[in-house]
Chains A and B, each alone.
Chain A
């Protein structure tokens, strides 16, 4: 019922053109949690293979009920024996949420999953969470943790050109501004390309990448204002260069440009607005 109410409200706001970014909707919240599970144990009473799941909210958001833990990637013949239902083709269990809210850093355990596995095949189910979360947090990638620092490229699990850790940082730190998030994602995307170019030691596209970075900066300037935008760019820049390998790659990229004089053609306010790639900051509304 709450799901229906939320969707109806969202539809109403969107139809009025005033959708609020912090509007809560039920959707994919996997990226906001660390999900861990124990090994499988054969439960002879139920003849199921059981595992106990723990979830920790690693986001700054409170996630509200209904929270569902869904399972996919099961081999043929294997089913979730204690499923409460199926959503989008995936069986799920309902997660009991004390007080209906999972606050930041809260851990909920145990969540027991029981698998019917007559052929006793190996199991490696994929677990996803859905919950009532801010609209803009939908589909955020999971926290890559230390694994995200292992390479210069890092982890970009959704393939949108922005490292997962940076995408999360932007979402978590700019909850009130859809256009701000869009502008800084463009900035992060441009600098990710630039860093990778430096790491590869490939100066071939340096001028193109430089222009993309300049465009992203101009877009940020339009979105936040030139001076306030500079501060926000510096914050993202610092998040981008969170390892020495990345700092060195960036330093290398700078050497590609040495000796060159490049155009910085943005002049008018309209030029700055046009520098935003794939979105119009004036229509995002906040």
Chain B
């Protein structure tokens, strides 16, 4: 009896693992096919620009407002801590490094997954449910090249720009709270930040992170949309999966990238 239950448990576990591996393989083939058939998206760049507008420009409000508040909170929390050690002038460094290295790419990525990733999945899923994708195939137009690839590249291009704007807005928020509200010396705030933040080690690594997150979120979003069962429940489930999987992927990738970039011989 107990043996049967254990066997059933392992069979279910094995089935789950096999099914997820199969899906990962399918998603990888999908990514390969999409990248190979990105000629249309890149040759007819207005198609991609349209998607940059929908994924990037329409996400600006949430990114900028969130960046401002995160920066202001960093200013408050950072000042409280630094003041204990008499180094409140280093507030600019703390705010800038926190944002550029970590919070900018990660929080912007999470917001991007929720705002743009879910929209991309829902749009592609609904196009599938309403036979628009089948119609395109019957018109001898490859839907992956015409619909999916522009949305993927639109997301990949938008993400680093949004993360950059998030960080800039965050630094501005830290400045407002630290310098204008609390009274930290303005010269020290900016000069220490300028001296401590390195273009390659900090900013470029942050840009690389946000670019990787952009690829991950956009890939997950377009794949979930294209693979969604063509029903209301199917699209709803795919949209949820996009947000959950993207968020987990961002956090896991952030750990891996941070370990590669800022530890060992490369760390400071």
Q: Is B a genuine binding partner of A?
A: no
What residues make up the interface of A, taking CB atoms closer than 8 Å to B? Answer: none
What residues make up the interface of B, taking CB atoms closer than 8 Å to A? Answer: none
